[in-house]
């Protein structure tokens, strides 16, 4: 039981260190963070698999509960392969960055900063609502009566003027 607790503590420290490294702007630290995150995830999968058992090869006289589940091993192997691919990709990015600029730090992009400083705009939510023709509504019904951005001072639907006295 203490081995599991120690492994869980190590796994938690590895996740914390990986997140700390991923928050940096240098690609080398991001690479180390990704590698540490992958190893911590592999450790988590192995810990969650439970105690070791018999290999998953059917033999006579062994109950089903005594076999070890092969799924955590398959997930760990898949995670190792994906981690290796991401590591190779990041190494290529680091090498290219070093060859071109002699640095591995990600620069702040001016356009990204400008986009981040803009107020949030959602084309669907912020667009003006046009009058809707629907076969399910009567001619006098307003399809946007419960629209949250319509006010008496600024009706979003043409024809719903507060002077008409229909809605307000």
CATH of the domain at 88: 1.10.287.3510
pTM confidence score: 0.59
Question: Residue 55: in which H helix or E strand, if any?
Answer: none
Are residue 108 and residue 147 in the same domain, yes or no?
no
Given pLDDT bands bounded at 50, 70 and 90, which one contains residue 14? very high
How far are the Cα atoms of 3, 10, 133 from residue 47, in angstroms, in the given order? Answer: 10, 11, 60
Reported as a single tens digit per residue, the pLDDT across 48-81 is 887 777 777 777 887 877 777 888 889 999 999 9
Average pLDDT over residues 110-116: 81
Backbone angles phi, psi at 88, to 5 degrees: -65, -40
* Per-residue model confidence (pLDDT) at position 133: 62
Are residue 83 and residue 154 in the same domain, yes or no?
no
* Per-residue model confidence (pLDDT) at position 146: 60
Say how many domains are in the chain.
Answer: 2
Contact 21, 13 (CB under 8 A): no
Greater confidence (129 vs 120) lies with: 120
Q: For residue 80, give its domain range.
A: 2-52+68-117
Write the CB contacts of 14 (distance below 8 Å, at least 6 apart in sequence).
36, 37, 39, 40, 43
Are residue 83 and residue 156 in the same domain, yes or no?
no
Are residue 73 and residue 155 in the same domain, yes or no?
no
Residue 112 to residue 110: CA distance in whole angstroms: 5
* Per-residue model confidence (pLDDT) at position 101: 82
Are residue 79 and residue 123 in the same domain, yes or no?
no
Q: pLDDT averaged over the chain?
A: 78
* Per-residue model confidence (pLDDT) at position 40: 95
Q: What percent of the chain has pLDDT over 90?
A: 29
Are residue 125 and residue 88 in the same domain, yes or no?
no
Scanning the chain, the segments in alpha helix (DSSP H) are 2-22, 27-48, 71-101, 110-117, 123-126
* Per-residue model confidence (pLDDT) at position 107: 78
């Amino acid at each position: 039981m203490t081995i599991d607790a120690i492994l869980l503590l190590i796994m938690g420290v590895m996740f914390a260190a990986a997140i700390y490294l991923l928050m940096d702007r240098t690609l080398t630290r991001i690479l180390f963070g990704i590698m540490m995150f992958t190893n911590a995830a592999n450790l988590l999968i192995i810990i969650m698999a439970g105690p070791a058992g018999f290999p998953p090869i059917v033999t006579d006289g062994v109950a089903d509960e005594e076999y070890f589940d092969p799924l955590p091993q398959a997930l760990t192997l898949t995670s190792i392969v994906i981690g290796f691919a991401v590591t190779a990709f990041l190494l290529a990015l680091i090498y290219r960055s070093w060859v071109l600029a002699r640095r591995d730090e990600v620069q702040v992009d001016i356009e990204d900063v400008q986009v981040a400083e803009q107020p949030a705009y959602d084309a669907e939510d912020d667009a003006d609502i046009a009058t809707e023709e629907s076969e399910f509504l009567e001619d006098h019904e307003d399809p946007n009566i419960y629209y949250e951005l319509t006010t008496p001072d600024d009706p979003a639907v043409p024809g719903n003027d507060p002077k008409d006295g229909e809605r307000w």
